[in-house]
Amino acid sequence: MAEPFLIGEAMTGGYGGADILHGCTIAVEPGEIAVIVGPNGAGKSTAMKAVFGMLSLRAGAVRLKGEDITALTPQARVAKGMAFVPQTSNIFTTMTVEENLEMGAFLRRDDIRGTMDQVYTLFPILKEKRNQAAGELSGGQRQQVAVGRALMTQPSVLMLDEPTAGVSPIVMDELFDRIIEVARSGISILMVEQNARQALEIADKGYVLVQGGNRFTGTGQALLADPDVRKSFLGG
């Protein structure tokens, strides 16, 4: 099989104590949406952090375009085209929307105006509210700020940990539509979602993680159709 664009392969490790991940493998191709689902505490966020270099693996590897990046810091991975929106504290609440976007581009030395316009085209409400403190925005709008901030680095891989947490179903659908748009532009999307059914509907590839390992892997449609996955993880 061909080498995936980004892969965390057989990742094993944790936070210094007992291992949280046990041979967990996650991969995504350009322009594809890969979704990680699973129960609370399964290790979904830990798997994302491992792919982004926020914890050191005891075994396994992370490769981007065939290059072993297992030893690279998160910052070095950003320079290689990876962007990560963590599950919590993903915006600077006292800064304005526009300042948040500027912070996202801190590694860049070129003109960021064009990318900011792209973010404002993707999320028009952010342009309207660009001079408002990000902390004053609604939950869905804050998530747009977080995604927009990540896009300011012009990533080839966008990693999102529960981008729709705490938002209404309508806002969730809108966010998913924007995420599909980002993927269509050729960016790889790797995201964790607790809205498993809806997320798998837009997923090219799905991973069901349980206790730090891969329980089920398949296309989003295959997982949605799998009776075991439905019964155990999708509420029937």
Q: Does 156 sit near Mg ion (CB under 5 A)? A: no
Shortest distance, position 211 Cβ to ligand ATP, whole Å: 9
Q: Which is nearer to ligand ATP, 88 or 131 (CB)?
A: 88
Site string for Mg ion, 81-110 (x = CB under 5 A): ------x-----------------------
Q: Which does 206 bind (CB under 5 to 8 A by kind): ligand ATP, Mg ion, none?
A: none
> Is 53 in a helix, a strand, or coil?
coil
Where does the chain show beta strands of DSSP type E?
Answer: 6-14, 19-28, 33-37, 59-64, 67-68, 82-85, 157-161, 188-192, 205-210, 213-218
Applying CB under 6 A, the residues found at the interface with ligand ATP are 15, 20, 38, 40-46, 87
User: For the chain, how many helices (H) and strands (E)?
Assistant: 10, 10
Compare residues 46 and 115 and give the one whose CB is closer to Mg ion. Answer: 46
Considering the complex, state which of residue 44 and residue 77 has its C-beta at the smaller distance from Mg ion: 44
141 binds Mg ion (CB under 5 A): no
Going from the C-alpha of 232 to that of each of 37, 201, 226, the distances in angstroms are 12, 17, 10
Cα-to-chain-centroid distance, residue 110: 25
Site for Mg ion in 168-207 (CB under 5 A): none
Q: Which two tokens stand for residue 169?
A: 């179903």
**Shortest Cβ 209–ligand ATP spacing (Å):** 7
